[in-house]
Amino acid sequence: MGPLNQALTLFLSLLVEATPFLLLGVAFSSILAIWVDERALVKRLPKHPALAALTGSLFGCLFPVCECGNVPVARRLLMQGAPSAMAIGFLLAAPTVNPIVFWATWVAFRDQPAMVFWRVGLTVIIAVIMGWLFSTQKDLRPFLQPAIARAMAPPAQATAVESSRSSGNDLLSGGTFLLQGQGQTLKLDAPFAEVMGAVAVLPQSASDKFRAVLEMMLQEFRELGAVLVMGSAIAATVQVAIPREWILALGQGPITSILAMMVLAWVVSICSTVDSFFALSFASVFTSGSLLAFLVFGPMIDLKNISLLLTTFKGPAVAYLFVLAALLTFVMTLAVNLYTNW
Amino acid sequence: MSSKVSRTRQPLPPLAHALDRWAWGLGMVLVAISALLILLGDHSTVRVQSFSWQSSTVGAENTALVLTFNRPMDPDSISADGNLRLTPPLPGRISWAGRRLVYTLDGPAPYGESFTLSLTEARDRLAKPGSNNFEPFLGNFESRDRAFAYIGTEGDEQGRLVLVNLSQKGAQTLLTPANLTVLDFEPYPLGDRLLFSAIPTQDALTGVLDPTLYTVTTGLLPRPPQDPIAIQQAPAAPSNAAPGTITEVLSGGEYQLLAFDLAPNGRILVVQRVNKSDPNDFGAWVLSEDQDLHRLSTEPGGEFLIAPDSETLLMLQGQGTAIIPLNAATTGEAEQLDFLPEFGRVFDLSSDGTTAAMVDFNQNNPDRRFTESLVLVNNQGEETEVLNVDGGISDAQFDPTNQIVYALASRVLPGEDYQEQPFLAAVNLDSQTMVELLTLPPQTQATMAVAPDGLALLFTTIDLSSNAATGEPIWLLPLFTTTADRFAAKPTPTTPQPLPYQGLQPTWLP
């Protein structure tokens, strides 16, 4: 099989594997946007950054999405005004802390059941630390893509609706506008999230809401689906360019095995729902800590979902997420390898 | 407004935001911790993470134990005749599957013993020469009790199931009540229960024969190991400790129970029944754990036996033996897998299911008329005759290692009166050599049962010339005199020992 064929196979398999979860993610995100009143939501959420991050991490149990489906939901949480600690906690932990992944890891590592608890425990700890870190930034908008930042309420100020539905001042700027009642306009060529934020309060009856959810799902899926195609193509190309054997040759010692498995997790971009079976095939020759690193780091950041993250966060924020999640995983699994007999 | 413009136009100073500062700070701290961890070195120990037989009760079907290490190991650092030690010794071979060491026994562990496994030193694959960070391991397990059951013939035991546990100094337990007369029985795979057919004792006197199937607990509670490499998992560990608890499985109703066989996995039961009011309504029925009783849609037949895979049935049909899939009962179509026209009886199948011990009555061979042959037929269709006698062959059983077949046969004594003399023979399947282990008095009928660990067999005899069918004890015949003989599969004739029990159909618990 030539490299092109191989890349195409990898690309299609990544896409086929990720698409249903992305669809699930945009479905949850749209339902969250249409059905859940953001003010009520924000009021009920814990204010303390650590608690908020922990709540976000455990949200995965409600929204069982993998790392392709969590981006739209995390983005929606940010736009709905949820604390940033919570959105980051959800973003990093939801692909692991959910019933499907529990079960899959349990089945795969039947003779090492502790793997499930280590995996979930370390993921939650890393998600809470990262959530806390992001909560130090009171106004996260400088780190978000402009479209998201605009749709997002500034801290303790007006809601997204007002930023988009103006009282006519926008007529001074260019663009396509829809004239609303009472002299209000809606800017139609504004970024999608902004428009949806603006119309989200409109549907009242259940059937209207249902239609709005469908429309929003379609829009978001089109937007993120295209990004996913790009991400999968990049991941497939890198996998063909850097053969797995090279990565595995990094080493099998207590330190090098962790590095090898983290690089492998990043490159293969495999979904968190099935990655434990993939990791199992390395269980015979790699240390437990390195398998753990694969299972913890892989679902947080990988080559395929970096492009999805870039639809929400600006470069520096993605870099912080990536580098710090990697460092935290490395330090923790290194401690596991060097100090535990597990 | 002016400040806003300047903020967007001019580049921000490095680390202008709180997040930048905290992120860089955390990054530095983490790099420092990593460096510290690496400098402080490896403090973990290499150890055995799990031992598949730890604190469990193994039986003859458990042929391999598995040690799982927490690190990939250096295979050369562990050897079967060196640091990996089983006490008492159980010869075997080591193989590796990643971090798992698999030790395959050469033969089943002798029953009724406790074993320890010790591994004092070993190295992981990346260990530096001279480093000793292995945590010595000591495990223990035991083999099942050496026990058998029989149908009593004397006094209080008459018609009742009796359990004898040789590992507990031959303690006897009456399992069934006096108001039931047991006709036939078969043990479940762990020996925790027996399946038996019985009639009320008052019916035994009137001659009404309408048996019901029951199970009875034996009080033995083996803890089977969870074998990580087995394809089929062992049956769940039994929980009922009280011996003699009886549960009805199948009552006669409008059918009369004729015969039954329990699958080796204990989950499927085949019964042969006939309609009491319509003798043409006759055939085999299947009762499984997850399905109600249903008819096996095949020709009615005679004797039958479920194969070791618990999925196929061997049944005498017409002049030969048919092999029928048991799951066909669920799909409704019972297509015969095979038909062996020459063989009139199947005695036993090897535990791996590849070979059957069958009898050829030699009806198609004029030179050998009136002789019987014991033939081994394997799943490739190859037939090997291992024994030919001018009397009859009444039983044949494989030993658990499938290296020997034991046969109970008879030869005709010269003279005017027709007299048959039974004998017990062992045939080594590799060398095709036969050893006669025992010769019994003429005109006796004998039964035999090979122990699950293959070290001994039980037999009974009934003197056909006298009418008194009782008074003969159950005999125990040790099969090997030395361990070397055992592993070479060379049984030697020894003197049988009479046991202080009298009864029919002595059967070892698996």
Element (H, E) at B423: strand B419-428
Q: Which residues of A touch B228 (CB under 8 A)?
A: 111
Is B94 contained in some domain? yes
Mean pLDDT score across all residues of chain A: 80
pLDDT of residue B470: 55
Domains in chain B, number:
2
Query: How far is it, in rounded angstroms, from Cα A220 to Cα A68?
Result: 13
pLDDT of residue B3: 45
Contact B236, B193 (CB under 8 A): no
Minimal CA separation from B24 to chain A, in Å: 8
Minimal CA separation from A281 to chain B, in Å: 10
Is B161 contained in some domain? no
Cβ–Cβ below 8 Å for A316 and B97: no
Question: Residue B121's domain is classified under what CATH number?
Answer: 2.60.40.3710
**pLDDT tens digit sequence for A271-324:** 887 788 888 878 777 888 999 999 999 999 888 888 889 989 999 999 999 999
Chain A contact for B445 (CB, 8 A cutoff): no
Q: Is omega for the bond preceding B88 within 30 degrees of 0, making it cis?
A: yes
Query: How far is it, in rounded angstroms, from Cα B312 to Cα B306?
Result: 6
Residue B102's domain comprises 48-142
Query: How far is it, in rounded angstroms, from Cα B52 to Cα B73?
Result: 18
Give how far Cα A93 sits from Cα of A71, A127, A272, A296, Å.
12, 6, 11, 9
Query: How far is it, in rounded angstroms, from Cα B365 to Cα B371?
Result: 10
pLDDT of residue A168: 41
Q: Which residues of B touch A285 (CB under 8 A)?
A: 72, 98-99
Chain B contact for A255 (CB, 8 A cutoff): yes
Instruction: With a cut of 90, say whether residue A123 has pLDDT above it.
Output: yes
ipTM value, please give it: 0.80
Is B68 contained in some domain? yes
pLDDT of residue B6: 44
pLDDT of residue A64: 72
Minimal CA separation from B42 to chain A, in Å: 5
Q: Which residues of B touch A317 (CB under 8 A)?
A: 19
Alpha helices in B265-376 (DSSP H): 328-331
Is B435 contained in some domain? yes
Q: Which residues of A touch B42 (CB under 8 A)?
A: 254, 337-338
Concatenate the DSSP letters of all residues of B33-70 into one string. HHHHHHHH-----B-EEEETTTT-EE-TT--EEEEEES
**What percent of chain A has a predicted confidence (pLDDT) above 90?**
20
Chain B contact for A245 (CB, 8 A cutoff): no
Cβ–Cβ below 8 Å for B44 and A316: no
Is B91 contained in some domain? yes
Cβ–Cβ below 8 Å for B19 and A330: no
Cβ–Cβ below 8 Å for B99 and A283: yes
Give how far Cα A287 sits from Cα of A263, A284, A329, A337, Å.
15, 8, 15, 7
Give how far Cα B417 sits from Cα of A199, B12, B413, B445, B498, Å.
110, 120, 8, 17, 30
Instruction: With a cut of 80, say whether residue A200 has pLDDT above it.
Output: no
Chain A contact for B123 (CB, 8 A cutoff): no
Query: How far is it, in rounded angstroms, from Cα A144 to Cα A71?
Result: 13
Is B410 contained in some domain? yes
Is B437 contained in some domain? yes
Minimal CA separation from B6 to chain A, in Å: 15
Q: Which residues of B touch A112 (CB under 8 A)?
A: 49
pLDDT along chain B (510 residues), means of 10: 47 79 94 94 85 91 88 84 88 87 91 93 77 87 93 88 90 90 91 91 80 91 76 63 86 88 88 88 85 81 86 84 74 66 83 87 80 88 88 91 92 87 91 89 89 91 70 87 86 90 90
Question: Which residues are paired to B356 by β-bridges?
Answer: B349, B377
Query: How far is it, in rounded angstroms, from Cα B491 to Cα B451?
Result: 14
The strands making up B497-498's β-sheet, listed across from edge to edge, are B444-450, B456-463, B475-478, B497-498
For B283-288, the CB contacts below 8 A with 24+ separation are B284/B313, B284/B315, B286/B326, B286/B329, B287/B249, B287/B250
The mean pLDDT of A169-196, rounded to a whole number, is 51
The strands making up B503-508's β-sheet, listed across from edge to edge, are B171-174, B161-165, B147-152, B503-508
Which of B142, B157, B189 is the last residue in one of the domains?
B142
The three-state secondary structure class of B203 is helix
pLDDT of residue A163: 41
Number of other CB atoms surrounding residue A117 within 10 Å: 11
- B486 backbone dihedrals φ, ψ, rounded to 5°: -65, -45
Is B299 contained in some domain? no
pLDDT of residue B468: 57
Query: How far is it, in rounded angstroms, from Cα B453 to Cα B252?
Result: 36
Query: How far is it, in rounded angstroms, from Cα A288 to Cα B372?
Result: 61
**pLDDT tens digit sequence for A219-275:** 888 888 888 888 888 888 888 888 777 877 777 778 888 999 999 898 888 888 778
Query: How far is it, in rounded angstroms, from Cα B406 to Cα B384?
Result: 15
Q: Which residues of B touch A138 (CB under 8 A)?
A: 18
Minimal CA separation from A214 to chain B, in Å: 36
Q: Which residues of B touch A328 (CB under 8 A)?
A: 30
What pairing do the DSSP bridges indicate for beta strands B268-275 and B282-288? Answer: antiparallel
CB-based contacts of B346, cutoff 8 Å, min separation 6: B303, B305, B314, B316, B321, B356, B357, B358
The mean pLDDT of A153-177, rounded to a whole number, is 46
Q: Is the whole-model pTM more than 0.80?
A: no
